[in-house]
Amino acid sequence: MQELRTSKEAVLMNVVHDATPVNVQATMQEEIVARLVLEAVPDAALVPTKLLKAFNNMVFMDEAEKDSAFKWKRSQIIAFLGKVKGNPDAYNVVQTARDSLTKVVDKIVSISQETNPKPFLQSHITALYQVKNKEFNLETIFDLVGWFFSVTGTSPTGANRENYYYPLACLFCVFWRRLTRPENAEVEAYIAANNEPQKIQMTVFDQGKASKKVTRICIMSNVPGKKEFKTEREKVRDSREDALIADGLQEKRLKNQTMVKPNGQKFGSCAETLPFLFIKSILSDVDAKTAEGFAFKPQLILPEEGKTYKYNKPSAEQIDRACNNCAYLLGPGRLGFTYDNFTESKY
Ligand SMILES: [Zn+2]
């Protein structure tokens, strides 16, 4: 486990909780600016040796490689999405999801041309995951990119958090950041204005039995917290809460309620919601007990474009444990996951 670099940083990492109400976002902005200053301090010890390749062993993540995906510009990311769309076999795209691949990629490409961030939250389409005839609502460009990561490739042999899952989660953030942030944007102000998701979550799970067993990930973000996005954000949340109820993960009596006190967000707000819904649809084929997950705040961890990227393994203080709403969803009688596997105790 990496030690925190400064005690000040430790404080920064602990202040913002999973269920951050909008009225504490001013505090978050100060933290983000402070964090960006901290990121400027080089620390070679935080760079692990070798990262595995992503997307069915086709894409370098390791920054030592010339064609590392972490170095891709927007045009290269778009070209890559097109390559996967054109040759889903090579990237081991989930069979059922292939029917939705073209429309998802085309939507990402078209909406990434927008210069105003609001359309990023109005990119609603439906897509299949692994079950025929079961369409999921993907409401934002961040959902679309998360779906792409969740259906493309399975985890390579030997993958662990340090050499694969955490870097892949960071790559997810880099992709949507480069696809959505206007090139002329003043970076710190753009982040501080909550134009970007404030939390991402990855769930890792084993699926299938014996020789057919594979390890997959589902990854998604929450909806950016900007004040002007309030209507869109609530619409997304409400639709996701309805999906949780329809799929039997949430009891109807808890509609518009929260288990996160005080000032908790309602069900459907968390980045965990879509990964949990995806996995619920295939739960009988999943080893629920061993599933594990982590959540982090991209604003606090990722350095900015133009600076050297560090694939540092997060410290326990950087990882957010599942909130009480999520603990309920993943618990006994629902997903049947092990709660400790969704906390910082894995670090
Ligand atoms: Zn939660």
Listed residue (252, 255, 251, 249) closest to 237, CA to CA: 255
pLDDT at 73: 92
Strands 135-138 and 125-128, by their bridges, are: antiparallel
- Please give the distance, rounded to the nearest whole angstrom, from the Cα atom of residue 315 to the centre of ligand 1: 19
- Please give the distance, rounded to the nearest whole angstrom, from the Cα atom of residue 295 to the centre of ligand 1: 9
- pLDDT band, residue 6 (cuts 50/70/90): very low
Task: Report, as an integer, the average pLDDT of 321-333.
Answer: 96
- Please give the distance, rounded to the nearest whole angstrom, from the Cα atom of residue 76 to the centre of ligand 1: 33
Q: Which position has the token pair 């042999």?
A: 157
Cβ atoms 342, 326 nearer than 8 A = yes
pTM metric for this prediction: 0.84
- Please give the distance, rounded to the nearest whole angstrom, from the Cα atom of residue 267 to the centre of ligand 1: 8
pLDDT at 48: 47
Most confident of the following: 34-38, 95-99, 182-186, 227-231: 95-99
- Please give the distance, rounded to the nearest whole angstrom, from the Cα atom of residue 180 to the centre of ligand 1: 25
Task: Report, as an integer, the average pLDDT of 51-78.
Answer: 93
- Please give the distance, rounded to the nearest whole angstrom, from the Cα atom of residue 57 to the centre of ligand 1: 31
What are the DSSP E strand ranges found in 74-228? 125-128, 135-138, 200-207, 214-221
pLDDT at 300: 67
- Please give the distance, rounded to the nearest whole angstrom, from the Cα atom of residue 319 to the centre of ligand 1: 13
Burial zone of 10 (CB within 10 Å; 0-12 exposed, 13-18 middle, 19+ buried): middle
Residues 6 or more apart whose CB falls under 8 angstroms from that of 76 comprise none
pLDDT at 303: 56
Q: b/e for 81-102, b at 16 or more Cβ within 10 A?
A: bebbbeebeebbbbebbeebbe
- Please give the distance, rounded to the nearest whole angstrom, from the Cα atom of residue 47 to the centre of ligand 1: 29
pLDDT per position as a tens digit, 16-61? 333 444 444 444 454 544 444 434 333 444 444 588 999 999 999 9
Cβ atoms 308, 71 nearer than 8 A = no
Q: Which two tokens stand for residue 257?
A: 């309620």
pLDDT over threshold 60, residue 11: no
- Please give the distance, rounded to the nearest whole angstrom, from the Cα atom of residue 322 to the centre of ligand 1: 5
